[in-house]
Chain A
């Protein structure tokens, strides 16, 4: 057994949060938010929740928001929700019922956040400079 591979077995049901992972293989049921490098959902596996991963291979079913560099949907896969990807392989037979976005701008959300906080700062400083604004 590979040391750094986490396996959720066929009879297992996990609900919660998984962090600091490198490789995860799901044969059971997982309802969780996961950040990992590689995630495999086997044919018997069911996954619900958000995924942040470099590589995602789906043979089972998935529902949620996935953000991944490479996504491989095998013939037996069933996917709903949203996929943000850089490269996608979709095999014949795969059932895809979701929103797919290619080459999303990874920096976009943090940029808007940064500018938002910047705006807040400006607002704060302008308030400081003009105390009469408050009154």
Chain B
């Protein structure tokens, strides 16, 4: 459990969060975050608010985001509210999700 970074519902974080080291790689956001987030797995829970940029391997969104996501696979659940640009290879959008912005494929390295 010490490897997971969990941001609880009441909290507000502002800044950069980098979770790309070998020890831990998962971020679960239930609160509010403003800034830049780098991780392997990112989960934005229902009720969370994110403002900024996400770089991740896989991302699941159930909250509200304004900003950019760059991720290999992205899932927007029915409670997701998204505004911004998406760069991804695999995309799933559930019925009910509100998405506005641009969607494009990740560039091959």
Q: Is the CB of B10 within 8 A of A21?
A: yes
As a 0/1 sequence over residues 3 to 28 of chain A, the CB contacts with chain B under 8 angstroms (1 = contact) are: 11111111111111111111100011
Q: Is the CB of A3 within 8 A of B8?
A: yes
Q: Is the CB of B15 within 8 A of A11?
A: no
As a 0/1 sequence over residues 10 to 30 of chain B, the CB contacts with chain A under 8 angstroms (1 = contact) are: 111111111111111111000
- Across-interface contacts of A57 in B (CB, < 8 A): none
Cα of A48 to Cα of B60 in the assembled complex, Å: 31
CB neighbors of B among A4-62 (8 A) = 4-23, 27-28, 32, 42, 44
Chain A contact residue count (CB 8 A cutoff)? 27
From A14, A19, A20, A42, contact of B2 by CB (8 A): A42
Supposing A4-B10, A6-B31, A21-B10 touch, asked if A12 and B5 sit within 8 A by C-beta, the answer is yes
Q: Is the CB of A14 within 8 A of B17?
A: yes
Q: Is B3 an interface residue (CB 8 A)?
A: yes
Residue of B nearest to A23 (CB): B8
Show the binding face of B for A, using Cβ within 8 Å.
Answer: 1-27, 31, 35
Show the binding face of A for B, using Cβ within 8 Å.
Answer: 1, 3-23, 27-28, 32, 42, 44
The 4 closest A-B pairs by CB, nearest first: A16-B15, A11-B24, A11-B23, A9-B24
Sample (11) of A-B pairs whose CB atoms are under 8 Å apart:
A6-B6, A9-B23, A14-B18, A16-B14, A19-B13, A20-B12, A21-B8, A22-B11, A27-B24, A28-B5, A32-B15
